[in-house]
């Protein structure tokens, strides 16, 4: 496929099939074709994290957040990765950002409590 949405859908299908490496490759293609494709950046970050690439995942999630600053799932995903890496202060900031976007985001509130907030 030569368009970002088709690559994105293919990446999601690969992810559903358990082929994370192919999912990562397709989602990277989607973001190259459309650097403002927030959902592709988000899912790329999740795939990268699952493949043991947390730094790349955080970078992808930041790009997704920049493309779609109103999607609370993106800073929340970043917060969970940062928390696992022991970067508590940055994780708290990301979780707070998720709650600013969506004050009813229960998981973000729970993460903040787990992090001592």
pTM: 0.94
pLDDT of 63:
98
CB 84 within 8 A of CB 54: yes
Q: How far apart, in Å, do the first and last CA atoms of the chain sit? A: 45
Whether residue 1 has pLDDT greater than 80: no
For the chain, give every residue range classified as CATH 1.25.40.10: 1-68
Superfamily the domain 1-68 falls into: Tetratricopeptide repeat domain (1.25.40.10)
Q: Is 85 strand, coil or helix?
A: coil
pLDDT of 117:
86
Mean pLDDT score, 43-60: 98
Name the band, by pLDDT with cuts 50, 70 and 90, for residue 2: confident
Dihedral sign computed on CA atoms, order 111, 70, 17, 32: negative
């Amino acid at each position: 496929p030569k368009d970002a949405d088709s690559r994105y859908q293919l990446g999601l299908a690969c992810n559903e099939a358990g082929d994370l490496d192919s999912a990562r490759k397709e989602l990277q293609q989607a973001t190259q074709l459309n650097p403002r494709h927030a959902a592709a950046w988000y899912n790329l970050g999740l795939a990268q994290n699952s493949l043991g690439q947390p730094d790349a995942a955080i970078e992808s999630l930041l790009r997704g957040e920049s493309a779609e600053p109103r999607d609370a799932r993106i800073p929340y995903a970043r917060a969970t990765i940062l928390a696992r890496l022991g970067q508590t202060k940055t994780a708290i900031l990301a979780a707070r950002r998720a709650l600013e976007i969506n004050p009813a985001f229960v998981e973000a509130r729970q993460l903040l409590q787990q992090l001592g907030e």
